[in-house]
Structure 1
Amino acid sequence: MDAHRGLAQRHGALRLSSRRMARRDHRERGAGDPADAARTGQPGRRGGGAVRSIISTVGTSLLSNKARLSPSGGDDEAALVRFLASVDPAQASAETNVLDKLKVDRADRLIFLHTATPEGERCAGALKAHFEGKVAGVAVVKVAHLTYEHRSFKQRGIKQLVDELATAIRREQRCGRDVIINATGGFKAEIAYATLVGLLFKTPVVYVHERFNEVVKLPPVPIQWDFSLMALHGEFFDWLDEEARPSGEVRERARALPHELRLLVEERLVDGYGGLNAAGQALYEAFRSRREGCVAERVKLSTRAEEALEAMDESTRRAFRHLLTNLQTRELWQQQSDLIQRGNMRVYPRGGRSERILFFEQGDEVRVCELCRHSDGSYERLLERGVKRGSYTFP
């Protein structure tokens, strides 16, 4: 049976809840966003290259610079727009300073992420009004819970920033745009986590200190992040992402995780619920992006493996379905598998949990011979008996 199709149709492939999926799909498709160059037919960038999308975190330097350079006329949004039009971009705000140095033009798209504060909203609104008509599109996004209140900022605000950044990056990249993160504005913690997201998503991050005249650019690092350990326990992270989970349930299920992954979990975040911390959220979002973006290999189950899957109780079947889904993406299983039987076959995973899958690769297919377990001794019995590829039939 073709598991790539059959697992999804007959056994329900691992997925987020429909409500969460619908919400994410709506956000990542950019519902309600202004027109962009890809849809309006505006010209591409210099030399016909990809259109840029520049995601900027927004601080309040616009307000402080307005008060210092032009104290009269108030500081409402209209006054800030007039100020932006009257002074050099390098003096107006941290955001305009960087965008000017990046030589923003009409083919670019700008996205401003601002704090959930009146000041942040006012500055972002003024920046949007200032750039409208000068670029292909401008969007403003409020980051919920990113406020001056310490507990909200630490427990929910930074996580929400990571989520909004990841959502924007995925959406813009799917439209074929080159994404740049401008992490100059906002709280210092925003700069740190924006940089982490940039590294994980292989997206360049730019920054200009108020005393610098040049843009400091952190390019994508040529490192392949290993998400195979997170993939091995992916059902826990998907479960945690579906909806708010009570602290007790999070604590109980997190005990089964390796120490490296437990570091990403906050058993008690707020109001009796647990979840991922900000670093964990960044890693999970990058893992999701890799899992969804990889070309899936065909996974075929032998007649024996199919019969074993059918005979399992629902809990065990669910665990194997998750692991079979990982086999569709080499990046997610290669580091967690071993060659066995003198290289005749592979076992996945090699440890860390009870389930074992014996398989081999043939062309562009992953062929699953056996589904067994370490806890009931079936894995050890198979190894003692010996397994050979030719002993299995594949429908």
Structure 2
Amino acid sequence: MPTIITTTGTSLLSNASRELNKQRGESFADNELQNYFKNVGAEKASAETKSLLKIASPEDEVVLLYTKTHNGELCAREVYRYLKSKKWSNIRLRELPLEENEAQFERRGLRELVNILIEEITKAQRENQEVIINATGGFKAEIAYTTIVGMIFQVPVKYIYQFFQEPVTFPTLPISWNVNLLLEYEDFFAWIDEEPRKDVEVEQRLKAIPKLERNQVQQLLLPADENDEIMLSAAGDILWKRVAQQRELAELIEDAPPSEIPNADKIASSIAEDKHHFPKGTREFAKKVAQVEAVEEIIGGHFENTTMKRIKKIDDDGSIRLLWADNEKAVNITIRTTARGQAQTLKLRDRYIRPLLK
């Protein structure tokens, strides 16, 4: 049974007001909107019912997300009533506490939308249900961020333009979204995700990040507010929660299989024989990495002018790139493993490789 997560807007009120010649702000009598459904038909009455009739069936689970406004709640409840009257049995309403205050909408409202969408996606996936996002209803920013969540969490998004008869599907992308920046500086992202942080504290922590990456990190933050506080943007929040979801998934999947390569043969000769004046401890570090069963090869790369040890990148093919450093310089090291996919590679990174950098 699929779960259809549906954003709801106020198209029902707009359509009914126009059709029934209502004055601006004029209210509707009891059952007037239900009678409107019956008179004009569900496809014409609202964008939500038009899309659901094309996308879902009465047996599916439908979650109607509505904004915390009088009109938003009214429309959602009338759509709910209509579908219930047509024997749609698995429907529930969920309020989106989106801020009407323009200044707070970007800071709070969009993050709440993102959090609730991801919560509903995760809930359905835990129950092994197919998930579809129906982004036909709602205002433009809501639809835009709903689509971004779907793409990053690899959930298909469906949308019906007002003049179309059939839904357009934004398919899941056949790639994993690059979350390496968040993994590389995960201590920073975990810290700022806990609560809004003072501008001066954020600036101090950002100084420890190289300039290029610092600029990329700042793109995932909102500007300081009137209280001089900074928090993750909605886009940053989506990516950070994707990392958390992949970690949760990693705990449910098998470990990467052991390599058949002997430990001594896993280390490239340039490291084993210390041919390039690597940072102190490189060979000893490589020997420890080689003891990890899933590791197949450890290769040295170019040097960098930093003294910060950190994991820089993981790839779906199981490779892990990191920096090993002493007090003078750092060397890039690539570790090839038997892991496959982002979740399994992340599990190997977290459980076996990252502790060796401490």
Whether the 8 Å contact between 2:64 and 2:93 is mirrored in structure 1 is yes
The root-mean-square deviation of aligned C-alpha atoms, in Å, is: 3.5
What is the 5 A alignment of 1:198-277? 198-257=150-209, 258=213, 259-269=215-225, 271-277=227-233
User: 1:175 offset after TM fit, Å?
Assistant: 1.1
Letter in 2 for 1:135: W
- Aligned position for 1:181: 133
8 Å CA contact 2:195–2:231 kept in 1: the answer is no
Q: Does 1:96 align with 2:49?
A: yes
What TM-score, normalized by structure 2, do the two folds share? 0.68
Change (3 A) 1:214 1:235: same
1:159 pairs, out of 82, 93, 111, with 111
* TM-score between the two structures when normalised by the length of structure 1: 0.62
Q: 1:211 to 1:233 in 2, by over 3 A?
A: same
Alignment partners' CA distance in 2, 1:196 and 1:159 = 13
Query: Residues of 1 paired with 2:93 and 2:3: CA distance?
Result: 13
- The alignment status of 1:117 with 2:76, answered yes or no, reads no
Cα deviation, 1:4-27, whole Å, max 9, x if unaligned, reads xxxxxxxxxxxxxxxxxxxxxxxx
- Say whether the 8 Å CA contact 1:155–1:270 is kept in structure 2: no
Residue 374 (1) aligns with residue 337 (2): no
Matched to 1:145, the amino acid is: L
Note the C-alpha offset of 1:197: 0.6
CA distance in structure 2 between the partners assigned to 1:219 and 1:124 by the alignment: 26
Q: Give the CA deviation at 1:174.
A: 0.8
Query: CA 1:170–1:298 in structure 2 vs 1: closer, same or farther (change >3 Å)?
Result: closer
Give the Å deviation of 1:69: 2.5
Following TM superposition, by how much is the alpha carbon of 1:92 offset from its aligned partner in structure 2, in angstroms?
1.1
Would the alpha carbon gap of residues 145 and 76 (structure 1) be closer, same or farther in structure 2, given more than 3 Å must change?
Answer: farther
Matched residue SS, 1:276: coil
2: distance between equivalents of 1:294 and 1:105? 34
Number of residue pairs aligned between Structure 1 and Structure 2: 280
Runs ≥4 residues deviating over 6 A: 296-299
Structure 1: gaps (5+ residues): 1-50, 300-327, 329-338, 381-395
1:126 aligns with 2:82: no
Structure 2 unaligned regions, length at least 5:
257-266, 297-307, 310-323, 332-358
Of 79, 93, 97, the residue aligned with 1:140 is 93
Corresponding residue SS for 2:122: helix
Supply the AA of the counterpart residue of 1:289. Answer: Q
- Judged with a 3 Å threshold, the aligned counterparts in structure 2 of structure 1 residues 379 and 193 are, in CA distance, closer, same or farther, namely closer
List per-residue Cα deviations over 1:255-282 (Å, max 9, x = no partner).
4341222210124145432111111111
1:191–1:361 distance in 2 versus 1, CA, 3 Å? farther
2:299 aligned partner? none
Identity %: 31
- Select the structure with the greater relative contact order (CA < 8 A; seq sep ≥ 6): 1
Q: Give the 3-state SS of the residue equivalent to 1:125 in structure 2.
A: helix
| 1:217 to partner: Cα distance | 0.5
**For 1:277-305, what per-residue CA distance to the aligned partner results, in whole angstroms no more than 9, with x for missing partners?**
11111111212111221248999xxxxxx
Change (3 A) 1:342 1:76: farther
Q: Distance in 1 between matches of 2:185 and 2:254?
A: 22
**Distance of aligned partners of 1:115 and 1:246 in 2 relative to their CA distance in 1, 3 Å threshold:** same
Deviation larger for 120-129 or 78-87: 78-87
CA distance in 1, matches of 2:181, 2:46: 42
Q: Report the more deviating stretch, 206-215 or 149-158.
A: 149-158
Match of 1:54 in 2: 4
Once the two structures are superposed, residues 283-332 of structure 1 have per-residue CA deviations (whole angstroms, 9 ceiling, x without a partner) of: 11212111221248999xxxxxxxxxxxxxxxxxxxxxxxxxxxx9xxxx
